[in-house]
Amino acid sequence: MQGKIALEEHFAIPETAADSLGYFPEAVRSEVAARNADIHGKRLALMDEHGIEMMLLSLNAPAVQAIPDKARAGEIARKANDYLAEEVQKRPARFQGLAALAMQDPDGATRELERCVSELGFRGALVNGFSQAGDADTVLYYDLPQYRPFWAMAERLDVPFYLHPRNPLPRDARIYDGHPWLLGPIWAFGQETAVHALRLMASGLFDVHPRLQIILGHLGENLPYGMWRVDNANAWIPNRNKWPAKRPLGEYFSANFHLTTSGNFRTQALMNAMLEIGADRIMFSTDWPFENIDHAANWFDNCAISENDRIKIGRTNARRLFKLGND
C-alpha cells in the first residue's frame, strides 16, 4: 500500500541517546544509536521504499520521564521539541511532530503542550509512561488529580495523547527477578502501560473530558484481549467493581482510545483488535528505529484484511485524528 502514515516513530537528541540502548544487546547498540540520530537519511529512504508517505516523530524512551529534576526535565523536553520543529520544517509533507512533555511539572507540561501545538504546529504529544519526580523512587501516574488541568488543555486543543511504554521501576519489577528477558518490549512494557491506561479509564477522567483521545501502541498493550474480563470478572457478585468512572471501562476503551500496529505485526492480533475496538480506531505504525520498517510494511501490505480497512488503518484514520487534511 502506498501513502501509509506511521505515528510511533522515534528519534533521539544527544541528551537522550543513551536511554534506548539498554534495551538491546551490545552488538546492535551502535546500529540503534545511528537509527535514532537519523531523520532525513536512511529513515527517509526506507519510507520511500516501503510506501510510507509520512511519519509523526516523537522522542525516544524513557528520556524526559526518567529525569527526576523537573526543571531539567522541562529543559530537555523544550530542547527536543525545538529540534524536532526544525527537522519537521525541512520536509513537512513527510514529517510531523508529537511533543515531549515533562509531566513531572503538570503546569509546565500544560504550557509546553499549548506552545508545541499553537506555535510549533505539533499534532499532539507522546509521553513515555509515568514520570519520576523529585527523586528516582517517586512516580506520578496521570490519573492523579493534579493532571486534570493538563487534560483540560489537551481536550481544548483537540489533540491526541500517545501513552508510550517504559519499564517499571526496579522496586516494582520483582516479578521479573532472574528473568530480565521479560523486561522491555517482550512483556513488561505492555503490562506497565496497560495498567496506566486502566487507571485513566477508571479515574473518571473521560466523564469530565469526554473528547479526550488516547493512543496506545503495539495493538493496545494486550488490552483488546482483556477488556471484557476487566468489566465482567465475577459478574455474579453485585457491585464487584468499584471505581470513580461512571461507565464500564470497555466503553471508554471504545470511545476514547486508539491503537497502533507498532511492533506487533500479527494478523490474528490485528483482527482481535478490530473486533474489539473497530477498524476506525486502529492506525499503522512501525516503531522505528526499534523495529524494522520492512517488517512492518511488508506484513501490513499483505495481511488478510479488506482493502477498505487497509486504507483506513494505513492512512485515513491518522489523517482524520491528527487533522492532516483530506485526501
Task: Give the separation between CA 14 and CA 17, rounded to whole angstroms.
Answer: 5
- pLDDT digit string, tens, across residues 156-193: 999 999 999 999 999 999 999 999 999 999 999 999 99
C-alpha torsion 261→200→148→159, nearest 10: 20
Using pLDDT thresholds of 50, 70 and 90, give the confidence band for residue 23.
confident
- pLDDT digit string, tens, across residues 95-122: 999 999 999 999 999 999 999 999 999 9
Nearest residue to 98 (alpha-carbon basis) of 62, 60, 150, 58 = 58
Task: Give the separation between CA 104 and CA 129, rounded to whole angstroms.
Answer: 11
Task: Give the separation between CA 210 and CA 26, rounded to whole angstroms.
Answer: 45
With contact defined as beta carbons under 8 Å apart, do 283 and 315 qualify?
A: no
> 239-275 in b/e burial notation, b at 16+ Cβ within 10 A?
eeeeeebeebbbebbeebbbbbbbbbbeeebbbebbe
Domains of the chain and any CATH numbers: 4-321 (3.20.20.140)
Check if 207 is active-site: no
Q: Which of 19, 105, 143, 287 is catalytic?
A: 287
C-alpha cell at 17: 541517546
- pLDDT digit string, tens, across residues 201-218: 999 999 999 999 999 999
Q: What is the pLDDT of residue 214?
A: 98
Give this prediction's pTM. 0.97
- Those residues whose C-beta lies under 8 Å from the C-beta of residue 124, and which sit 6 or more positions away, are 56, 98, 99, 117, 159, 160, 161, 162, 215, 322
Residue 11: DSSP 8-state: E
With contact defined as beta carbons under 8 Å apart, do 244 and 203 qualify?
A: yes
- pLDDT digit string, tens, across residues 130-159: 999 999 999 999 999 999 999 999 999 999
C-alpha cell at 170: 526496579
The arithmetic mean of pLDDT across residues 251-278, rounded, is 98
